[in-house]
């Protein structure tokens, strides 16, 4: 998967490629879909949610230029696959998931794989994780209509956030905050993500 779907596109660092080699995607997909675990496509993981296409996971990860000392906030734990990739690059990962079942499953997989250094929270991702802010990097894996104010507030000066925005038609944006706190955004490419769920925590 790494060679065919990531390296041949020629836009990813060796650090990101190594992260993909170290994380087995089949551990994060339903057992009946294991044969498709390394296809370059999103796959259903239940409750109308998906595990993202590997190329998009790699692209979003690469754009953020994550360093080991960066505090990284992930909005949408989902299957936990993107979380595990981030964990290869930073020692400080904070992941928020509104569906309790997904957070619980991801934590169980991490325990089985002896993955450490990730902090999980069940909650509305549009509010971020104020108690642990600010964050050097923020990655959002579900699409709101607009950038949540809380996420902008929790992005540190000189920080970067990557986020899909829109309804039926979505675009991926890179949001950057300079040292003075001024924010700019850059359109990267059209994407399709599940909508961001907001409001009450989903207990199953």
Contacts of 79 (CB under 8 A, 6+ apart): 28, 29, 45, 51, 102, 105, 106
> Active site includes 90?
no
DSSP 99: B
CA–CA separation, 98 vs 24, rounded Å? 24
Distance CA 76, CA 95 (A): 7
What torsion do the CA atoms of 51, 150, 122, 198 make, to the nearest 10 degrees? -70
Give helix then strand counts, H and E, for the chain.
5, 9
Q: Which of 41, 52, 103, 126 is catalytic?
A: 52
Phi-psi map region of 188: left, alpha, beta (phi>0 left; psi -120 to 50 alpha)? alpha
| Interatomic CA distance for residues 72 and 195, integer angstroms | 21
- The residues annotated with a catalytic role in the active site are 52
């Amino acid at each position: 998967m790494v060679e065919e779907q990531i390296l041949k596109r020629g836009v990813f660092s060796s650090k990101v490629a190594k992260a993909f080699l170290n994380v087995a995607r089949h551990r994060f997909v339903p057992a009946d879909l294991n044969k498709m675990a390394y296809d370059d496509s999103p796959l259903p993981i239940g409750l109308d949610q998906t595990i993202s296409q590997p190329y998009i996971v790699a692209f979003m990860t690469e754009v953020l230029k994550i360093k080991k000392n960066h505090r990284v906030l992930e909005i949408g734990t989902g299957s936990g696959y993107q979380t595990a990739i981030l964990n290869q690059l930073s020692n400080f990962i904070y992941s928020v998931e509104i569906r309790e079942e997904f957070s619980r499953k991801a934590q169980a997989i991490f325990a089985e794989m002896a993955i450490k250094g990730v902090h999980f929270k069940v909650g509305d991702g549009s509010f971020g994780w104020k108690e642990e802010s600010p964050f050097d990097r923020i990655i959002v894996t579900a699409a709101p209509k607009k950038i949540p104010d809380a996420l902008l507030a929790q992005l540190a000066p000189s920080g970067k956030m990557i986020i899909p925005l829109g309804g039926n038609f979505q675009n991926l944006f890179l949001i950057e905050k300079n040292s003075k706190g001024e924010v700019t955004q850059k359109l990267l490419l059209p994407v399709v993500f599940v909508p961001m769920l907001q409001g009450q925590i989903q207990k199953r």
